[in-house]
Structure formats: structure tokens, C-alpha cells
Amino acid sequence: MSATEPLLAAHDLRKAFGPTPALDGASIEIAAGEVVAVMGPSGSGKSTLLHCLAGVARPDTGSVRYRGRELSGCGDAELSALRRGEFGFVFQFGQLVPELSCVENVALPLRLEGVGRREAERRARTWLERLEVAELAGKTPGQVSGGEGQRVAVARALAIEPRVVFADEPTGALDSLNGEQVMRLLREAAQESGAAVVLVTHEPRVAAWSDREVVVRDGRTAATEPVLP
Amino acid sequence: MSAWLRDLALGARLARSGGRGARSRVVLTAIGVALGVALLLVAASLPHMLAARDARTDARSDLQLSGPPPVAGVGTLLVADVNDRFRADDVRGRLLRAEGPVAPIPPGLERLPAAGELFVSPALAELLRSEEGALLRERLPQPIAGTIGDAGLAGPAELAWYRGSDDLRLRADDGTVRRIDRFGEPGGSTAPDPVMQLLAVVVLTALLLPVAVFVATAARFGGEARDRRLAALRLLGADMAMARRIAAGEALVSALLGLLLGALLFLGVRRLAGEVTLFGLSVYPGDVTPSAGLALAVALGVPTAAVLLTLAALRGVVVDPLGAVRRARPRRRRVWWRLALPLLGVLLLLPLIGGDTRSAAEHELQLAAGVVLVLVGVAALLPWLVEAAVHRLPGGGVAWQLATRRLQLDSGASARVVSGIAVAVAGAVALQTTFSGVENGYVSGSGDGRTADVWAHDDGRPGAGAQRLAAALQGSDGVRGAVVAGEQIEAGHGDTTEYVRVADCATLRRVAPIDRCADGDVFVVGEVTSLRPGARLRLDGGTSWTIPRDARVLQRWRGSPDPDDGASYSIPDPVLATPGALAGLPLRPRTTLATVTLADDGRDAIEHVRNTVARLDETATVAMLGGRSYDREYANLRRALFAGAVAVLTLIGASMLVGALEQLRERRRPLAVLAAFGTPRGALARALLWQTAIPVALGLALAVAAGAGLGAALLRMVGEPVGFDLASIAGLAATGAAVVLLVTLATLPALRRTVRPEGLRAE
């Protein structure tokens, strides 16, 4: 990867679900350490764009390059390994594994990377402390509030110290106070570890935490504009 | 009451109009219930099936056990048994000769066959017409003159024939040819063997309980989605009691639909009943009629159970109006009442142990209750055992952790599904243990399957029949080794009955250590009889004969010779005579015996031997020494167990599959998230496997322990020593494990679909 090449770049992505086009020529570039908000109305294709960027879904046509490597040429096992080792994820409803305790949830990506259970849980506790939810370590997701669950999910996303964090409506299910807290912690933690953040949201208040906004409309990236300080 | 009806009706309406998701859950549950209902209705038809079969076999019975033996007259008929086997199937054959113009006609025939006319069952007609039946056709070469109707057959697949014969004569009292003046013996079926009764009770219990467990499991399919829907009702003002009743209404719709589908499925199965032969059992569609009481119990019991189970399942769920559904912190399962069930069962069984067999069988209800309680105890103990065990499981890899944590969170659903398998395996282990223990009493024949015994009749001069039979067998296809042939004559001596074996010197040397021998010599095997030279015997019930004074007494007899040498009798008859010793005596037809070593090539060697023997004496018996021959009642019960076990395991496998798919659907989002952050599908598949395998392993361990215990108790009840058939137990456990593997494999495509990114969508 050259010094000027973006960390993650998508070009002319198209993807349809049956007869319905979700992406219709979307393009985006994300630099290392950058926080980019992907905005747009419901159904505009922003989650699909995020899934294609993260290698969760494959575009019908177009290219996604991560650190100079074309993802469309990667097999399922390679993409899984990439997501395990380089990417972190936060979703709207936290999506913690209900049967695992909070500390086990945060330790899970580390364990998938081959870190031993004790070491993984030790590191997971550190992340829970940084996200100010250390006291939840032994509780299961069913026993914590929505805001607490989202903070645990952020800790889980950052535990492997990823290069990119993909956050899909991370505050969508939270009240504004909790939403602000989660965004502050996500932004701070990502900045400290040097991770880029791709933030899908339809709320300008959330997008305000990003460095730059990309607007998706009808499956196309309509505009890219820097967020005013 | 009106509130109940109103809420149940509202639940039913919601189930119908609740969109695709609700409808698919209703259909899923209904299919599960339908499978169970169909099987229950088949089971409810068993009494009628057995009664109809017994009524037909009683009506055609030609054994006149009551009243004085009839004398020849215008209304009498001579009947000869020509029962035979063709490969693995029994063939019932009868030779008939009317002694007068009004001789009785067997059921299923419109008239008696004239001499040489052959009437056959439809299944035999088909077999004789086919290539498969070519060898049997040699024994039944006559053209088919008519068909035996349903009234004269045990079942549609029975191979049976009647043939007219004009040279049939009453023989000595060997029972092969009988004179009768009617068909049918009121209550002709012998009283059921108490051991068989006892086993039948256990077979039915072991097979039906898993079906009941299955129906209970099916009634709970889709529980999590239903809980979420109830939250919306709570928001509209429904209290928890109302919400539970509404949920019960939904379950009621599924159960009623399942009942309807099950009844239709049963009717379909019933139509096919005549076409299917399962493990040698066949029935007419008309026989498959559920008894009214049992059908009513199924019709009322299944919907009632669905409602009660839903209400019970919702006791541990808190649904609040804001959509949050919480499982009440699950209380640790209590063990006392679960343990009380099998203990109570054991207490009921204990008094039956050590008494005589008949008393155990006569206390059928007590026995059934005991067995049911032990088996229900297995089903009840399993959730506790799984819960207790999974909380003690050590940590492991990611797949192991996901599985064990899932089980720790809620092991009830898995344990419930597995309890079906556990009950089936426990019952099967108990039965297998009992079957193995009592087998000796019901199985005849031993050896290596390479030798056959022949019993035929001959009325020529003594010794000639054996020579004829030996010569015929020597030249027969299917015979490899030497033939040992001789004749056996019943010999009365005082109040005892002994036997004289008549054979040439070469044959006698094979069964006893004889050095010098010439035609006319007689030998007494001193080791097996108190008879000595000079003793007077009544041969064949009449002819007087004295063992010659110069007869030699043999102190030893030879053990079983090598089968390749023409396997023979392990213990010889007490008196051995060469043909010349009995020459000139007026002896009636005698039993001629032969033992042959079969050719190794092909499965039909025995059929060639049967054909050869049938040419000499149609009523001869040919039995494989190595073929284990089971008592008919015992064999039927074993077959019923296998047929039932196959049906039950299929049902449970289907139930586990539906349960696993349902769980995948419920857990679509967490699984998609796990896949999104890179969890390999292999790890997810292994997690699914562990999640099923852990309860199954515990279930099987419990089942084997309970089944072996129950089997040991049943063996003690029938007065047999306790022993375990470890190979069979391992086989049953392996079958249960195979079901788990198959179910996991079958869920993999669904897992692949579940972890697609669509699962991540929150909208």
C-alpha cells in the first residue's frame, strides 16, 4: 500500500436483492484513522454499503480494496480471517451473544484470533474499564440496559485493536444522553488506537462526531463533505 | 370461563391473521403434532389390528382341540400341514382331501380344491409369477386354480396355499395329517405367554412415551417469537393471565390443525397399510382402525396438552408492555419430584421381582405403571441432569463455550427434545436386555448356518427310506458335504419312550464309536440309556421287538463331528440298529432324518434341498441348523419393537431437526453477528453439534443406566439370570448418537443461510 492510497476504497459498487437495487454505483474512500459518517434516509443502501466494505456481503459488481488488496478475490475463509483480525463491528442493538457474559462477549473476537481464554478475558476487562462498564463483566446481555450493552459492544469491537471499526446505527436504539456517551467513547477509543471508523447513521447529531460525511441516496454516494468544526 | 373462551378465541384469531411468521409457526407446530397424532392413531389401532388378525387365524384353524376326534363321514376332511419357508418368509401350506360331500371349506375359499388344484394367496401368486419365485415354483408346479380371499389370510403379505390331494391318508399319530369336521376353533388362539405379555407392555410403553414427549415438544415450537408478540398485547392492556390464555389459544389452533393433519396422514398411512410389509408384518387397511376410546383420548388429549403446556411454559416468562421479554431468572430445577417418579416405579416393580412369571404378567397394570414411571422418570430427570451437568462443564474452545453457555442459559428446550430419544433408548435397552435374557426359551437352532436337518416320512422297509433320502440329497443342488441319514422309530419301554435309530454301518460310525459292524447288528449307547440287550420294546406303538442279546453296549458316544463331515446329532438315540436287524417287521411310516452340509455358493442352497426333499415327501420339514429360528410370538414382538423403534427414532430425528431449525431462526441475528466479526462457520457448526451432543450424551448415559436397570428387573421377574448384551446396548447408543449427527448435518444448509448479512438488518 502506498502512502497516498486510502486504507479502504470502494468503487462503483452495485448490489441488488432480487429486483430491488440496494447499491447502484456507490463509491467511497476511507483513510487510516479517519471517522467517516455514511448518512442517508432509511432504505437508501447505507447498511448494504457498510456490509460490502466490511466483506460481510459481496457486491454484484464493483471493487472493494482494503490496504491495496481486492476483496472480491478473497474466499470466505480469507474474508472471515480479515474480519476477525482487522475489523471491529458495532450494530444498532448491540447484538451481543445472549448466552455469553459481557466479558466473554468482549473476549470472543480475541479468542477467535487464537488468544487463550485467560489472557483474552484479562484484555476484555481492560476494555470494559476504558468503556466505563467494568462492573458489567459477569452479567449477561439480558441483564444490562441498552446503553450499557452498546458500550460493551464498542469494547468488543475495539478489543482486537482493529484498523477499521464498522458501526451500523450504533446509537439508534438509545436515548440522546446514552447516544452521546457511546459516540464519545467510540470516537475516543478509536482515536487512541488509530482505528478508522465507518459510521452508518441517519442522525446529524451522531454524524457530527465524524471527520467527514458521505451521503447515500438511492444506492449512490451522492456527496462527500467535511464536517464543519 | 367466558374470559377463557374469549382469550383463547382471540389467540386463535391472531394465529390465523398474524402474518407469514405466525402462520409458518402454526404450520410448523401442526406438522410436528400431526406426525405424533398419526403415530398415536396407529398405536390406538393395534388392539383392533391384533384382534382382526387373530379372528382370521382362529377362523381358519384346523386344529380341533375340543371334543372327541371326528370319525370319517360325509362332513369330514383330511388336512396335512405342509408349512415351509422360502428364503426369509414362512409359507403356510395345506393339503386337503374331502371324505364326504359336505366336508368343511376353509375361510377365504368358495369351494374345496379338487385333487391337484392349487389355491394361493395373492402375495404367493405374485411371488410364483415372478423370477424371484422360480425355486418355490418347483415345489408348487400346479397351475393356480383360484385365490384365497382376505378372510382366509393373516395379512395381505402372507404366503399361503391350499391344494387338493386324493392320496392323503391318516398316518401314525404324528399330527401331520388330521381329520377335521370344521374349520375354526372358538378361542383357538392359545392364551398369551405371560413373558410375552410382559414384554408387550414394555414395548408399547417404550414406543408411545417418546411420541407423547414429541407432541409436547412440538407444542412449544416458536415460543420465543410468540413471547415477543405477547409484549404488543400487554401494551394494549392485556394482563399476564390474559396474555397466557391468548398464547394458549394460538397453541390450540396449531394443535387442532395438527390433529386434522394427523388424522389425514393416518388415513393415508391406512390406505397404504396393505402395500407395506414392515419386518414381516402386514395388515389389511380395514384392520387399521383405532379403538373408539383411544381415538377419543388422542382427539381430546392433544389439544388439551397443547393448552396446558403453553400455560406451563409461560409461567417462567415475564412479558412487559414495552416489548422487553425476560425469562424469569430460571429457578434451579428441583430434583426431588423428578427422582420420586422412577423411585415410585421401582417400588411398584419390586414386589413383582422374584415371584413366578405368571403373577408378574397378571399384574399387568402394576407392571405397566412401574415401567411408565421409570421411563417418565428418565424424561423428567434429564432436564435436571443436563442443567446440573452443564453448570459444571469446564471451559474450552469458542465452539464449546458458545454451546455450553447456551445450555447454561436455557437447557430446557434441548433436554426436552432429547428426552424423547432418552426414553426410547431406555425402553429399547430394557427390552434388549430382557430379550437377550429370555431368548434361549424362544430360539431354537444353533450352529454356523451351513448345515440343515431334514425330517421326512417313509413307509417302505426299514432302512430303505434313509437310503432313498441320502441318495436324493447326495445328488441335489445346494448340498456340499456328506449326508448323514437314518430313520427314527419310537420305542415304548414300560412307561418311558425311547428311540431306535436305523442306519447303515457307515452312518452309525459317524455318531458312535463302532469298530465292527455288519448289517443286522444292534448297538446300545449305555451312557444315555438304561436299556440293555434283551429288553422288550414296542416299536411304533405296536410291533413288539427285543433288543438282541448279542447287541453290543457302547460306553461312549461321539460328540458333534465336524460339520464338513456332515454334521450330526450331538446326542445319539439310545438304540442304534442296522436295517437288517428290523427286516420283516410291519412298521408304519417312520420319520427319516438327515443332516446335510450346504454348499457355500449362494443363499439358495437350502431352497434346492427343500425342493429335493419335497419330491420325496411334501410334508417333510427342512430346518437350517445355523438359522436361528424364533418362536412366532417372540419374533412378532421383536419385529414390532424394531418397526416401532424405527418410526420413533425417525419422529424424534424430525423433531430435533425442526427444533434446531426453529432455534436457528430465532437466533438469526446473533449468529449473523458472530459471522460478521469473523467466526468461522465450522466453529458455529461445531457449537451446534456440541449443543445437541451434550444433552444427548447425558440422555444416553441416563437411558442406558435406567434401561439396563429396568431390563435386569424384568429378567428377575421372569426368573432368568441377569446379563447384559453390551453389543446391543452400544448399538442402541450409537443409533441415538447417529441421529444427532444426522440432525446436525441436516441443519448446516440452514446455518449457512442464517449467517448471511441479511440477518444483520435491524429494520
**Cα distance between residue A53 and residue A56, in whole Å:** 8
Asked if A129 contacts A156 with a C-beta cutoff of 8 angstroms, the reply is no
Percent of chain A whose predicted confidence (pLDDT) is above 70: 94
**Cα distance between residue A210 and residue A224, in whole Å:** 12
Range of lowest pLDDT (B378-392, B400-414, B721-735): B721-735
Cβ-Cβ contacts under 8 Å between A and B: the total is 91
The pLDDT tens digits of the residues spanning A112-152 come to 888 888 899 999 999 999 888 899 999 988 888 888 888 89
pLDDT at res. B566:
43
Q: Is the pLDDT of residue B9 over 60?
A: yes
- For A142, which of B326, B673, B761 is closest by C-beta distance? B326
pLDDT at res. B331:
62
Range of lowest pLDDT (B65-69, B92-96, B142-146, B515-519): B65-69
Residue B212's CB is within 10 A of a number of other CB atoms, namely: 18
**Cα distance between residue B20 and residue A180, in whole Å:** 38
pLDDT at res. B560:
47
Strand partners, B77: B98, B180
Range of lowest pLDDT (A158-172, B143-157, B453-467, B608-622): B453-467
Q: Across all residues in chain B, what is the average pLDDT?
A: 79
Q: Is the pLDDT of residue B479 over 50?
A: yes
pLDDT at res. B245:
83
Q: Is B465 exposed, middle or buried (0-12, 13-18, 19+ CB in 10 A)?
A: buried
In this prediction, residue B555 has a pLDDT band, given cuts at 50, 70 and 90, of confident
Q: Is any Cβ of chain B less than 8 angstroms from the Cβ of A92?
A: yes
pLDDT at res. B637:
65
The pLDDT tens digits of the residues spanning B87-131 come to 878 899 999 999 999 999 999 999 999 999 999 999 999 999 999
With CB atoms and an 8 Å threshold, state whether B678 touches A99.
no
Mean pLDDT of the region B757-763: 55
**Cα distance between residue B112 and residue B490, in whole Å:** 35
pLDDT at res. B319:
61
Q: Is the pLDDT of residue A200 over 60?
A: yes
DSSP secondary structure string for all residues of chain A = --TTS-SEEEEEEEEEETTEEEEEEEEEEE-TT-EEEEE--TTSSHHHHHHHHTTSS--SEEEEEETTEEGGG--HHHHHHHHHHHEEEE-TT----TTS-HHHHHHHHHHHTT--HHHHHHHHHHHHHHTT-GGGTTS-GGGS-HHHHHHHHHHHHHTT--SEEEEESTTTTS-HHHHHHHHHHHHHHHHHHT-EEEEEES-HHHHTTSSEEEEEETTEEEEEEEPP-
Taking CB atoms and an 8 Å cutoff, what residues of chain B touch A119? none
Specify the amino acid at residue A220: R
Percent of chain B whose predicted confidence (pLDDT) is above 70: 77
Range of lowest pLDDT (A39-43, B237-241, B377-381): B237-241
Q: Is any Cβ of chain A less than 8 angstroms from the Cβ of B330?
A: no
Q: To probe the interface with B, which of A99, A102, A106, A113 has the most B CB atoms within 10 Å? A: A99
**Cα distance between residue B119 and residue B143, in whole Å:** 9
Nine cell digits for residue B353: 421381582
- ipTM of the complex in this document: 0.73
In this prediction, residue B567 has a pLDDT band, given cuts at 50, 70 and 90, of very low
Q: Is the pLDDT of residue B412 over 50?
A: yes
**Cα distance between residue B756 and residue B746, in whole Å:** 18
In this prediction, residue B144 has a pLDDT band, given cuts at 50, 70 and 90, of very high
The pLDDT tens digits of the residues spanning B247-275 come to 888 888 888 998 999 999 999 988 888 77
pLDDT at res. B684:
86
**Cα distance between residue A227 and residue A210, in whole Å:** 7
Nearest chain B residue to A142, by CA = B326
Mean pLDDT of the region B152-174: 85
Range of lowest pLDDT (A6-10, B315-319, B511-515): B315-319
Q: Is any Cβ of chain A less than 8 angstroms from the Cβ of B675?
A: yes
pLDDT at res. B592:
83
Min distance B264 CA to chain A CA atoms (Å):
37
pLDDT at res. B196:
62
Residue with the bigger pLDDT between A57 and B99: it is: B99
Q: Is the pLDDT of residue B135 over 50?
A: yes
- For B760, which of A51, A80, A83 is closest by C-beta distance? A51
pLDDT at res. B568:
44
The pLDDT tens digits of the residues spanning B569-581 come to 445 688 888 988 8
- List the 41-70 stretch of A: residues with Cβ below 8 A of B: 42-43, 47, 51, 54, 56-57
Min distance A149 CA to chain B CA atoms (Å):
14
pLDDT at res. B263:
94
With CB atoms and an 8 Å threshold, state whether B678 touches A117.
no
In this prediction, residue B360 has a pLDDT band, given cuts at 50, 70 and 90, of low
pLDDT at res. B105:
95
In this prediction, residue B442 has a pLDDT band, given cuts at 50, 70 and 90, of low
In this prediction, residue B337 has a pLDDT band, given cuts at 50, 70 and 90, of confident
With CB atoms and an 8 Å threshold, state whether B677 touches A168.
no
Q: Is the pLDDT of residue B324 over 50?
A: no
Q: Is any Cβ of chain B less than 8 angstroms from the Cβ of A85?
A: yes
Q: Is the pLDDT of residue A198 over 90?
A: yes
pLDDT at res. B18:
64
Q: Is the pLDDT of residue B461 over 50?
A: yes
Q: Is the pLDDT of residue B323 over 50?
A: no
Q: Is any Cβ of chain A less than 8 angstroms from the Cβ of B395?
A: yes
**Cα distance between residue B508 and residue B486, in whole Å:** 9
Range of lowest pLDDT (B132-146, B464-478, B727-741): B727-741
Q: Across all residues in chain A, what is the average pLDDT?
A: 85
